[in-house]
């Protein structure tokens, strides 16, 4: 006998699951249950990101990331205003370290224009006016870049969801999902929930939830990449404008950047190194199941073969503070390893498919189920728009 009967079960209460439950409830859907294995929210990607409200400058026009990020930017600003959650829009400067990056800098600039962003070139004098310790000769400024605290955003989603009748079940890891005729019995923690539809927003565990709920091999494998941020003194940088290097166009990571958080703290990071545990935030942790999963896909070998120098550099940033210092000083020379006064880290759920990294968001449907299989950055910025994309997929199932 079921403890709960619902129309929709959402698995995972990160920023995507939270935004989705909020959107569905606002649309008048009843009988929504959100299940999460943790005892509270903000334990994973949502509670550990940089807080940036992204503009969409990096993503090709027509991609899900581009559409969801630009639409999501406008939606999240509206949500922050409506609920009086603190934020600021100082903009972002993308800088080239040297001439080898000028072509990619210009490509990004043209992409920003193509998707309708407010950008302008900046020369050496313009850059120095932001901070005299910036060493780049060339860059461009993106007006539509901000900062907020996504932990507060998710808290508000859940508060509103509860007020509208959504049930949130925490400390409820998924144990079994059984299909019974056209419905499902979801055994989570010590509860059983019967439901007609399942929506998988499980982030780092999304591929495993897909297999558990469908009985099929997941089309993607999640590989966890740890990103480390180092806190430095507030007064070492003169501006609220975020500083980003030109990213490697072959990798879905934005490089080590300089960000003044919404609380005023100043952080430098992240790097991007393979994690041997999907949830190994503290120290150097191993999880045998995760290690086997990492190396069961040819993606890591393909990356190591094709981008050997990039992989080596990221490992060096992780292992060597002097190398990390050198990579930052290529564009901001007021950083040194002795100035680090704090540390945080997060783990990015990066999907791989057919031996390659999945660069766009990936949402698939299967047998009255919707699965969000790749939603890394800029998912927090995009969360309300991603929720609408999921709802469109879900309504096609009904």
Question: Given CA atoms 299, 305, 306, 308 in this order, what sign does their dihedral have?
Answer: positive
Residue 8's Cβ-count burial label (10 Å; 0-12, 13-18, 19+) is buried
CA distance 317 to 54: 24
Beta bridge partners, 122, equal: 139
pTM of the predicted structure, to 2 decimals: 0.94
The model's pLDDT over 328-365, given as tens digits with 9 standing for 90+, comes to: 898 999 998 889 999 889 999 999 999 898 999 999 99
| Same fold flag, 4-46+151-220+360-397 and 92-143+222-357 | no
The residues spanned by each domain of the chain are 4-46+151-220+360-397, 92-143+222-357
Upper half-sphere CA count for residue 78 (Cβ side, 13 Å): 10
33: region left, alpha or beta (phi > 0 left; psi from -120 to 50 alpha): beta
Domain boundaries 92-143+222-357, corresponding CATH code: 3.30.9.10
Q: Residues 267-285: what's their mean pLDDT?
A: 86
Question: Given CA atoms 178, 183, 188, 192 in this order, what sign does their dihedral have?
Answer: negative
CA distance 35 to 194: 12
CB distance 195 to 233 below 8 Å? no
The model's pLDDT over 198-246, given as tens digits with 9 standing for 90+, comes to: 999 999 999 999 999 999 999 999 999 888 899 999 999 989 999 999 9
* Pairing, β 4-11 against β 242-245: unpaired
CA distance 249 to 106: 12
Helix (H, G, I), strand (E, B) or coil at 371: strand
At the topology level, CATH places domain 4-46+151-220+360-397 in FAD/NAD(P)-binding domain (3.50.50)
Expressed in angstroms, the distance from the first to the final Cα of the chain is 25
- Residues recorded for the chain: 398
pLDDT of residue 252: 62
């Amino acid at each position: 006998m079921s403890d709960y009967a619902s129309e929709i079960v959402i698995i995972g209460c990160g920023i995507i699951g939270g935004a989705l439950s909020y959107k569905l409830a606002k649309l008048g859907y009843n009988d929504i249950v959100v299940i999460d294995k943790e005892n509270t929210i903000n334990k994973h990607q949502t509670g550990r990101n940089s807080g940036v409200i992204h503009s969409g400058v990096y993503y090709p026009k027509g991609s899900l990331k581009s559409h969801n990020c630009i639409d999501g930017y406008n939606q999240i600003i509206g949500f922050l205003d409506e609920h009086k959650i603190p934020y600021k829009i100082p903009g972002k400067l993308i800088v080239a370290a040297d001439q080898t990056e000028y072509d990619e800098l210009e490509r990004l600039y043209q992409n920003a224009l193509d998707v309708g962003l407010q950008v302008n070139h900046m020369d050496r004098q313009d850059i120095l006016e932001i901070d005299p310790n910036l060493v780049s000769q060339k860059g461009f400024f993106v007006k539509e870049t901000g900062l907020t605290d996504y932990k507060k955003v998710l808290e508000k989603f859940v508060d509103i969801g509860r007020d509208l009748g959504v049930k949130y079940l925490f400390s409820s890891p998924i144990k079994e999902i059984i299909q019974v005729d056209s419905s499902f019995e979801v055994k989570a923690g010590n509860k059983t929930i019967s439901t007609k539809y399942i929506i998988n927003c499980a982030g780092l565990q999304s591929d495993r939830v897909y297999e558990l709920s469908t009985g099929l091999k997941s089309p993607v494998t999640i590989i966890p990449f740890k990103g480390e941020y180092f806190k430095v003194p507030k007064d070492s940088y003169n501006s609220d404008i975020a500083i980003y290097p030109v990213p490697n166009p072959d990798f879905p990571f934005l490089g080590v950047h300089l960000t003044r958080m919404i609380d005023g703290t100043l952080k430098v990071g992240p790097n991007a190194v393979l994690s041997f545990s999907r949830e190994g935030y503290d120290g150097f942790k191993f999880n045998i199941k995760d290690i086997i999963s990492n190396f069961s896909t040819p993606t890591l070998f393909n990356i190591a073969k094709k981008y050997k120098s990039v992989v080596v550099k990221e490992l060096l940033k992780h292992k060597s503070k002097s190398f990390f210092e050198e990579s930052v000083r290529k564009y901001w020379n007021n950083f040194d390893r002795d100035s680090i006064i704090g540390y945080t880290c997060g783990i990015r759920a990066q999907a791989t498919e057919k031996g390659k990294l999945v660069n766009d968001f990936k949402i698939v449907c299967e047998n009255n189920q919707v699965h969000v299989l790749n939603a890394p950055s800029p998912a927090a910025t995009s969360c309300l728009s991603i929720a609408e994309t999921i709802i469109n997929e879900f309504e096609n199932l009904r």
